[in-house]
Structure 1
């Protein structure tokens, strides 16, 4: 990677105990990554993993206890003002007064910067033109999130930090927001996307880190992480009638006994699930074709970033973990 716009090396942050005699909370134990210009880089993990604390240190909003951070070559820990003009931040807990309108909010936030984006272009980019005179309190959840992205972009940043921007949105609003994030990246802005949604990270991110317990446990492109998973692949087959399914079950059970690429063939309802190596699909299709047994439907079982999390941590992915402690 050449000239990363963000560099994080062995970042650490511990919060003091919430009450006397309590135990300090380590939110970030050891986090390192680099972000290239023009990519959507994901910071993925369950709630409380240290994601928000990490980006708050990046933005100069919180002091770290150790490690180094560089954004556009500057140290936001030493002087947050050095990057303030170039980094836009949309935080999960951000809120506006109910009476402020979309246009007024853009005007107020724009006044914080020496150079600001054209409000009309920003409203158009984020599909907010028709709502420019609408009060914040009357916006839908999706519209509020689009406005929060607009406010993060109003200073014409080179880097935008978007923290859990689709939490609480319905599926349609989430998909619309994903398209907006891609538009932001296509406009030339590097995006740091903080999320606990596996599907969101898999859909949007060029590269990502998975954080658990304040540490990076996996890093790479979503496809490379999924392709690198160990263990069996799976195939599901459906047949037109019981006779064909019974014949296929016998053939595939016998195949599992003699072919190293097929480990098991198990009837599940009106389907047959076959597991094995990367070559399992080829072995199954070849065996059935030789016997002139044709399935009505064949599909591979999808492997996801959640499977990556399970493999690297040894436990199930649960969104709600220990909450990060604000100080």
Structure 2
């Protein structure tokens, strides 16, 4: 059996009376993109901090690149790279100097560090600003430079904690291409993100964490199939019909727009199931003005999962 790049069992962490993690289990195959999703405060960043040795767990075990995150912190740190949510570059150095420094710290020769810096500057659209001090960069440019710095070494496992927050679409797409290239060369990428389409685009496997534990795990396709291949959008006739339908459907509602009086419900897309839902909430044929079927997205999955009470593994 292949040794996983990351393996965690029963991770728990509390700050005072606040339980942030209550037993997180993860297994990440080498050479893949693994995405951790969850609402704010669900425990994503705490999980990353434990796996990158910045925080000690209260309970549980974890190994990254074969090294125990508590007993062999130095071994973990030699094998990983971490890019956090906020840019952390040396404002007094130029963009090129920042990248050469990071490559040298990762063990590259002067020549290799210079080559690597040039490649990253071009990939992230920073070549023209290479010789300007990072302190003169815009916020978006500093973020791109920080991402590039995190990729300057040859880490076996790269942690990207919400790496594209605040980036424009072009910069995000450049980052996606970089991630594709990393995985193609055998690197493991552990990603957290606020952008569900980013997880759908990049991840081979996704875990959704809520209230400090994993509530579902699987590939994007498996999760979407498990929680509804299709979404039935219902446009209700008036406020009373809207509230009555919402009450009847309960937890099956995955999207709700009070202003537009629309509800989204997971469905298998069959005529029989659509007819059943319509008959249930609109037996008189007057409550629903119109309806439409759409392919389910990770948004639908996410909204369904973060309201669930029991874990579901796909």
TM superposition score category, shorter chain reference: 0.7 to 0.9
Structure 2 match to 1:280: 271
Unaligned runs of at least 5 residues, structure 1: 17-23, 237-268, 285-298, 316-327
- For residues 240-282 of structure 1, the C-alpha deviation after alignment (integer angstroms, 9 at most, x for no partner) is xxxxxxxxxxxxxxxxxxxxxxxxxxxxx9xxx999643339x
Structure 1 match to 2:296: 303
Structure 2 match to 1:19: none
Matched, 1:15 2:6: no
Measure the CA separation in 1 of the matches of 2:3 and 2:266: 44
- Which residue of 124, 128, 132 maps to 2:126? 128
**How high is the TM-score relative to the length of structure 2?**
0.73
- Which residue of 190, 193, 196 maps to 1:195? 193
Report the CA distance shift for 1:119/1:234 in structure 2 as closer, same or farther (over 3 A): same
Structure 2 match to 1:84: 77
- Which residue of 29, 42, 46 maps to 1:36? 29
CA drift of 1:85 comes to 1.9
How many correspondences in the alignment? 260
Structure 1 match to 2:3: 3
Measure the CA separation in 2 of the matches of 1:131 and 1:180: 20
Contact 1:142/1:177 (8 A) holds in 2: no
CA drift of 1:95 comes to 2.1
- Which residue of 152, 156, 159 maps to 1:158? 156
Matched, 1:56 2:49: yes
| SS at structure 1 position matched to 2:217 | strand
CA drift of 1:128 comes to 3.2
Contact 1:235/1:274 (8 A) holds in 2: yes
The equivalences for 1:1-327 within 5 A come to: 2-16=2-16, 24-115=17-108, 118-230=116-228, 233-234=231-232, 277-280=268-271, 300-314=293-307
Unaligned runs of at least 5 residues, structure 2: 235-259, 276-291, 309-314
Measure the CA separation in 2 of the matches of 1:42 and 1:30: 18
Measure the CA separation in 2 of the matches of 1:59 and 1:30: 17
Structure 1 match to 2:284: none
| SS at structure 1 position matched to 2:67 | coil
Point out the structure with max Rg over C-alpha: 1
Measure the CA separation in 2 of the matches of 1:274 and 1:155: 46
**How high is the TM-score relative to the length of structure 1?**
0.70
Contact 2:96/2:118 (8 A) holds in 1: no
